[in-house]
Structure 1
Amino acid sequence: MRADAARNLTTVLRTGARLLAEDPSTSMAAIALAAGVDRTTIHRRFASREALLQAVFRAKLDASERVLDDARLAEAPVPVALHRYLEGIIPVSREWPVDTRRMMEQDPAARDRRDALSERLLAFLRRAADEGHLRSDVDASWTYATLGRLVDTVAHDFPTMQAPQAADLVADTFLRGLGAR
């Protein structure tokens, strides 16, 4: 793919993610206009808004998978892995604000990928509890949901907070709120 075509694709995906998160009925024409590309550029690559949305979901999943890999959730000490995860996932959440739960009925393969990524994070949270960093009397699904809400809150309600500072705040709130007593 030519460099300009790759830039256009990235711009279309990021713009589509932002606009579709704000309004799921956003038209392809509106996305093209906001991305600064011709409508035919989008239609040449994506047959429909749903196809574009699936590509956005895949891009978010790709970015999330890289964050999980880089955090080294299974190997690094829990506080270090948690901070690495947070410092990576907060920008991903900002860049790709679409809720991947919306893809469940549209793209079974993406749903399976999302489930696998979720399971990796759940395994990390179980490890954190087993090692005494989190309360062992709280189900991992609750800590998972809480962590997700904290990430979502800092990513979208505090968009000017830099990722390292946001990661510090979320990690402290999470570990003190659900930390072992």
Structure 2
Amino acid sequence: MRADAARNLEAVLTTGARLLADDPSASIAAIAAAAGMDRRTVYRHFASREDLLAAIYQARLDAIERASEAARLLEAPVAVALHRYAEGIIEVNRTWPVELGRMRADETIRERRGRLIEQVDVFLQRATDEGLLRADLPAGWASALLQQLLHLATAQLPSLDAGQAADVLVKTYLRGVGRA
């Protein structure tokens, strides 16, 4: 794919993610216009609105997977991995604000999400085993809290860059569910 075509495709996908986060019924014409192109250009890449939606969700998952890999959840020291993960996911949430919930019926997306959740759960168990997180919390609580803090940091800290927002998140998380 030519560089300009790749940029156009990226613009359509990220613009689509942003518009769909604000208005889940956004049309291809609206997405194309906001991306600065004609809807026929978008239709050359995607036969239907559903194909465009699937591509946006796939791109978001790709970005989440890259952020998880970059965090080195199983290899890096827990606090370092947590910060890298938080910074990466906050950046993903800002670039790809559309939620995956609408695509839960898609088995491929559901499986990929499941693997990502499992990776984070294994990491959080490692953090607990190493004594960084409390072991007396209800099952799933640390994971649910981390997900909520990621959403809050993304939405409530827009003036901070992803690294600074991750600093706030990690301090809050470790002091809230860290060993007392």
Q: TM-score, normalised by structure 1?
A: 0.96
* 2:104 equivalent to 1:104: yes
Deviations 1:43-75 (A, max 9, x none): 111122221111111111111111111111111
Q: 3-state DSSP class of the match of 2:140?
A: helix
Mapped to 2, the partners of 1:172 and 1:136 lie a distance apart of 18
Provide the residue aligned with 2:14 in structure 1.
14
Mapped to 2, the partners of 1:140 and 1:49 lie a distance apart of 39
Mapped to 1, the partners of 2:64 and 2:179 lie a distance apart of 27
Mapped to 2, the partners of 1:37 and 1:140 lie a distance apart of 48
- Structure 1 residues 165 and 91, CA, compared in 2 at 3 Å: closer, same or farther? same
How many residues were matched structurally?
180
The residue identity in structure 2 corresponding to 1:165 is Q
Alignment of 1:20-169 (within 5 A): 20-105=20-105, 107-169=106-168
Mapped to 1, the partners of 2:49 and 2:21 lie a distance apart of 13
Any stretches of 5+ residues in structure 2 without a counterpart?
Answer: none
Mapped to 2, the partners of 1:21 and 1:73 lie a distance apart of 28
Mapped to 1, the partners of 2:138 and 2:100 lie a distance apart of 23
Worse-superposed segment, 11-20 or 140-149: 140-149
Mapped to 2, the partners of 1:141 and 1:5 lie a distance apart of 43
Contact 1:87 1:163 in 2 (8 A): yes
Deviation at 1:35, TM superposition (A): 0.4
Mapped to 2, the partners of 1:150 and 1:102 lie a distance apart of 21
The residue identity in structure 2 corresponding to 1:173 is T
Mapped to 1, the partners of 2:78 and 2:6 lie a distance apart of 37
RMSD of aligned Cα (Å): 1.0
Q: TM-score, normalised by structure 2?
A: 0.96
